[in-house]
Structure 1
């Protein structure tokens, strides 16, 4: 895994990000001491796909858009 110092990372950030996005992780070091590891999001620990992550865990009732309509009508006096 490639290690770059902070100055080099700032100078070549775009190139380094492109490499990381392709799966080539790298470490940024300060005075030779590793500080952070840059990895693509899909490889990061705990990365969660948010869209559709609950798919298949519950269902929506067919009358969802009408649920509670009678109570709402009563509260606002619309049923009279």
Structure 2
């Protein structure tokens, strides 16, 4: 982890952001005291979700996929 003063970041923000984008973490100092940490944004790995994760946790009602009543559809559509 590299340390950098606020004044340095103000002078070359793009340069420091390039370093962060490349994977580096920066600790920002104000008067020699750490005040912030700038690190790359991480995105969680997206894998296929296994089937049946909630098996047995709830029951789907019989009429789940039945058509909704007209009055309810009308209220959704603002009629």
Specify the TM-score bucket, using the shorter chain as the normaliser: 0.5 to 0.7
User: What secondary structure does 1:41 align onto?
Assistant: coil
Number of aligned residues: 59
Gaps of 5+ in 2: 55-64, 75-79
Shift of 1:67: 4.0
Alignment match, 2:16: 16
Gaps of 5+ in 1: 59-63
TM-score if structure 2 supplies the norm length? 0.58
Alignment match, 1:35: 35
TM-score if structure 1 supplies the norm length? 0.57
Q: Which has a greater percent of helix? A: 1
